[in-house]
C-alpha cells in the first residue's frame, strides 16, 4: 500500500514535448511507471520516444486512460492545463511548474475542488511510491521501498532527506512534495490523514520551512496521531521578508517563524531535528 499513486496508476504528461516534459516523461517510463502518453496542443499524432502525444487531455484519456496527469506546461499556460485536466476529471493532477500567479492559484484550487479532483503543487517535485509509480521529477536513485512516509514543501531538500533515508536502508512508502507556493492544492494536513490510514506507513517525515502555517496546522492533526512524526524546518537563518503591509501579519497572527513552528510542533509530540542528516536517527526504525 501507499498513498495517492501505486502500481496501477496510469500517468499522463501535459507539456510532454517541452525540454523538461520530455526528459522526465521518458525518465518516469524508464523507471517503471505506467506512462500512457502526453499532451501538447498542436502536436497530436507525434511521439516522444514510444509515448503517443495527443492534442487534448480528453483525447488522451479516451485513447489511453489516465488516473494522474503531471503538468510541465510553462507558467503562462499552466492554469489552463490544470483546468483542462480537471474538466476531464483526471482524479490526481500534479503540477511541477513554478511561477504561476497566486491569484490564478486561488481560482485553480476552487476549480479543481468543484470538480472533485485533487491537485498537488504547483512549484513542486511531484510524488512517488517507490517501486510502483513516480509522478514527477524526484530522482529515482534516491528512492527505495519501505515504511517511511515523506512530505515536504521543498523539492531539493526532499531529495536530500530521502537520499539519506535510502542510504541508511530506510525505504519510503510514498514521498510527496506539496510545493513551495503560498496557495497550493494539497496541504500537510491532508497528507497526514492519508499516511495515518496507510498500513505501509510506520512513521512520517515532515520537511517544512519558514513562512505560512502549514506546519502549525499539521501540528493540530499530529496531536491525535499514533504514528511517529519527525520534522525538519528550514529557514532559521533566512533573512526576514521585507515587510510592507500589515494584512499578511494580521491574518497569520504571529505564526510562520521557524521558532514558533518548532515550539508548536514539539508541543504536539513531533520529534524535531535541526539538521537534514539527523532525520534517519530520529525515526527510531532501525
Partner 1 sequence: MLSGGRGKAGGVKFAATPEEAGRAARGMLAMRINGFPVKQVLVAERLKAEGEFYVGLTIDRASRSVQCVMSAAGGVDIEETSKSAPEKIVTAPVSLAPRAPVVGEGVLMRVFGKKEIATMAADAVAALSRLLYEKDCSLVEVNPYILTRDNKLVAADAKIIIDDNALYKHPDLEALRNSEEYGEGEMAAQRAGLSYVGLDGDIGCMVNGAGLAMATMDLIKLFGGRPANFLDVGGSSNPQKILAAFELLLAGKTVKVICVNIFGGITRCDDIAQGILLAKRQLGIGLPLVVRLTGTNGEKGRAMLADAAIHTQTDMVAAVKKAVELAGAAP
Active site residues: 246
116 binds partner 1 (CB under 8 A): no
Please enumerate in sequence order all residues whose Cβ is within 8 A of that of 15, keeping only pairs 6 or more positions apart, or say none.
21, 38, 39, 40, 71, 72, 73, 74, 81
Residue 272 to residue 266: CA distance in whole angstroms: 7
231 binds partner 1 (CB under 8 A): no
DSSP bridge partners of 255: none
Q: CB of residue 187 vs partner 1: minimum separation in angstroms?
A: 8
Q: Which is closer to partner 1, CB of 65 or CB of 266?
A: 266
* Residue from 163, 225, 263, 285 binding partner 1 (CB under 8 A): 163
114 binds partner 1 (CB under 8 A): no
Tell me the helix, strand and coil percentages in the chain, rounded to 5. 35, 25, 40
281 binds partner 1 (CB under 8 A): no
**64: how many CB neighbours lie within 10 A of its CB?**
17
Show contacts with partner 1 in window 204-223 (CB under 8 A): 207, 209-210, 212-214, 217
Total of residues contacting partner 1 (CB under 8 A): 65
In contact, 185 and 109? CB cutoff 8 Å: yes
249 binds partner 1 (CB under 8 A): yes
Q: Which is closer to partner 1, CB of 67 or CB of 213?
A: 213
Burial class (CB in 10 A: 0-12, 13-18, 19+), 44: middle
254 binds partner 1 (CB under 8 A): yes
Which residues in this chain contact partner 1 in the complex, by CB under 8 A? 19-20, 24, 75-76, 96, 98-106, 109-110, 125, 137-139, 142, 152-160, 163, 180, 182-184, 207, 209-210, 212-214, 217, 232, 234-239, 243-251, 253-254, 274-277
Amino acid at each position: 500500500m501507499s498513498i495517492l499513486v501505486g502500481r496501477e496508476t496510469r500517468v499522463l504528461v501535459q507539456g510532454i514535448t517541452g525540454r523538461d516534459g520530455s526528459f522526465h516523461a521518458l525518465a518516469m517510463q524508464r523507471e517503471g511507471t505506467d506512462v500512457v502518453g502526453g499532451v501538447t496542443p498542436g502536436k497530436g499524432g507525434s511521439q516522444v520516444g514510444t509515448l503517443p502525444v495527443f492534442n487534448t487531455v480528453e483525447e488522451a484519456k479516451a485513447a489511453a486512460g489516465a488516473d494522474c496527469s503531471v503538468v510541465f506546461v510553462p507558467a503562462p499556460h499552466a492554469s489552463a492545463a490544470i483546468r483542462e485536466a480537471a474538466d476531464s476529471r483526471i482524479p490526481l493532477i500534479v503540477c511541477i511548474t513554478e511561477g504561476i500567479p497566486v491569484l490564478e492559484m486561488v481560482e485553480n484550487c476552487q476549480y479543481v475542488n468543484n470538480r472533485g479532483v485533487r491537485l498537488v503543487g504547483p512549484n513542486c517535485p511531484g510524488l512517488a511510491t517507490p517501486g510502483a509509480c513516480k509522478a514527477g521529477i524526484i530522482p529515482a536513485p534516491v528512492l527505495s521501498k519501505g515504511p517511511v512516509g515523506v512530505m515536504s514543501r521543498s523539492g531539493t531538500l526532499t531529495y536530500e532527506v530521502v537520499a539519506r533515508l535510502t542510504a541508511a536502508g530506510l525505504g519510503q512508502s510514498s514521498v510527496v512534495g506539496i510545493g513551495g507556493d503560498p496557495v497550493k492544492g494539497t496541504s500537510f494536513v491532508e497528507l497526514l490523514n492519508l499516511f495515518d490510514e496507510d498500513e505501509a506507513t510506520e512513521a512520517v517525515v515532515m520537511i517544512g520551512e519558514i513562512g505560512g502555517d502549514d506546519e502549525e496546522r499539521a501540528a493540530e492533526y499530529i496531536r491525535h496521531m499514533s504514528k511517529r512524526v519527525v520534522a525538519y524546518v528550514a529557514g532559521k537563518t533566512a533573512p526576514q521578508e521585507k515587510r510592507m503591509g500589515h494584512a499578511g501579519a494580521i491574518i497569520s497572527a504571529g505564526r510562520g517563524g521557524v521558532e514558533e513552528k518548532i515550539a508548536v510542533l514539539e508541543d504536539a509530540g513531533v520529534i524535531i531535528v535541526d539538521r537534514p542528516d539527523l532525520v534517519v536517527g530520529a525515526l527510531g526504525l532501525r
